[in-house]
Amino acid sequence: MRLHGEVAVITGATSGIGEAIARRFSEEGAKVAVVGRNKERGEAVVSAIKSRGGTASFFSVDVTSDKDVKNMVDSVIRHFGTLTIIVNNAGLVVPGTVIDMTPDQWENVFRTNVTSTYLVSHYSMPYLVKQRKGSVINISSEAGLKGFKDRSAYCAAKAAIVGLTKAMAVDHSGSGVRINCICPGTVETPMVQRVIDCHANPVLMREEFLLRRLTPYLGVPEDIAEAALYFALPENRYTTGAILSVDGGALAK
């Protein structure tokens, strides 16, 4: 139980990578705030965690809303008594170049990926800094480190998360708070499956994802959960401002 006594807020935790992180942290003894918009899926994640002896609660939140996020952070601290780990995982991808993407689509991608990360950090960091301990884990993407066709807003938003992580680490590591970032490659999640299904040739789309890797397979959410666990463990006190690619070797290829 390496996370015994820890309380983790995980956004986008009702499916995919966020759900896997919530389950993994719970297995290690953390109390988990499952944050998302879909109540049915969120409660299912909570039930699964509780069925294995863990502690979790669902918080229905629009992570792009200033008011919602502030209320959520306050509610989590009241409910669990403390807050020690933040995982900014909420994300959205909308295909398109800068020519064919509408301003509304562009803003939606940035609100979901970047503004949510800012808001959750904005309202959580004062508490972490005051207690002089904690871990913030931002989930970016391999798309934040390189360019991809028809992903202009997504690449820009995920690159912003990388930059924000580094700035937060410079600002707050001296206060005992570690801030790190994971850049997953293509992972078998519902969001990725929707991208594949919406492509004119889904089989070709999956093959393109695979061709970017050094591995003959795509990642699974549990791969990212293990990376998040490393950053969450209090004993890894020397790791802050790190950008970790978990992408099947795509960045090296």
**pLDDT tens-digit map of 123-133:** 999 999 999 99
Which residues touch 218 (CB under 8 Å, ≥6 apart)?
A: 185, 186, 187, 188, 192, 209, 210, 248
Instruction: Read off the amino acid at residue 241.
Output: G
> Is residue 199 assigned to a domain?
no
- 211, part of any domain: no
Does residue 248 sit in helix, strand or coil?
Answer: coil
Q: Is residue 19 part of a domain?
A: yes
Report yes or no on 21 lying in a domain: yes
Is residue 235 in a domain? Answer: yes
Question: Residue type at 71?
Answer: N
Residue pair 176/216 in contact (Cβ under 8 Å)? The answer is: no
Which pLDDT does position 59 carry in this prediction?
A: 98
Q: Report the C-alpha gap between 129 and 117 in whole angstroms.
A: 17
| Start-end of H helices in 28-112 | 39-51, 66-80, 103-110
Among 6-20, 57-71, 197-211, where is mean pLDDT lowest?
197-211
Lowest mean pLDDT of 92-96, 162-166, 169-173, 180-184, name the range: 92-96
**How many structural domains is the chain composed of?**
1
Per-residue confidence at 63, pLDDT binned at 50, 70, 90?
Answer: very high
User: Within a domain: residue 252?
Assistant: no
pLDDT at 195: 81
d(C-alpha 229, C-alpha 57), whole Å: 19
Give the residue among 122, 143, 123 at the shortest CA–CA distance from 247. Answer: 143
Judge whether 242 lies within some domain: yes
Instruction: Tell me, yes or no, whether 201 lies in a domain.
Output: no
**What residues form DSSP beta bridges with 187?**
219
Cα–Cα distances (Å) from 162 to 1, 19, 22, 67, 121, in that order, read 30, 22, 22, 25, 14
The Cα 89–Cα 182 span in angstroms is: 10
Read off the DSSP letter of residue 219.
Answer: B
The residue annotated as part of the active site, out of 118, 154, 217, 238, is: 154
Tell me the pLDDT tens digit for each residue of 143-153: 999 999 999 99
Quick one: DSSP state of residue 96?
B
Band of the pLDDT at 187, cuts 50, 70, 90?
A: very high
- What residues make up the domain containing 57? 7-186+220-246
Which of 214, 241, 239, 217 has its CA nearest to residue 229? 239
CATH code for position 92: 3.40.50.720
Distance of CA 55 to the CA centre of its chain: 20
The residue among 73, 63, 61, 26 whose CA lies nearest residue 46 is 26
pLDDT in tens, 12-58: 999 999 999 999 999 999 999 999 999 999 999 999 999 999 999 99
Residues contacting 40, CB < 8 A, separation 6+ = none
Q: Are 173 and 205 in contact (CB under 8 A)?
A: no
Q: Is 154 a catalytic residue?
A: yes
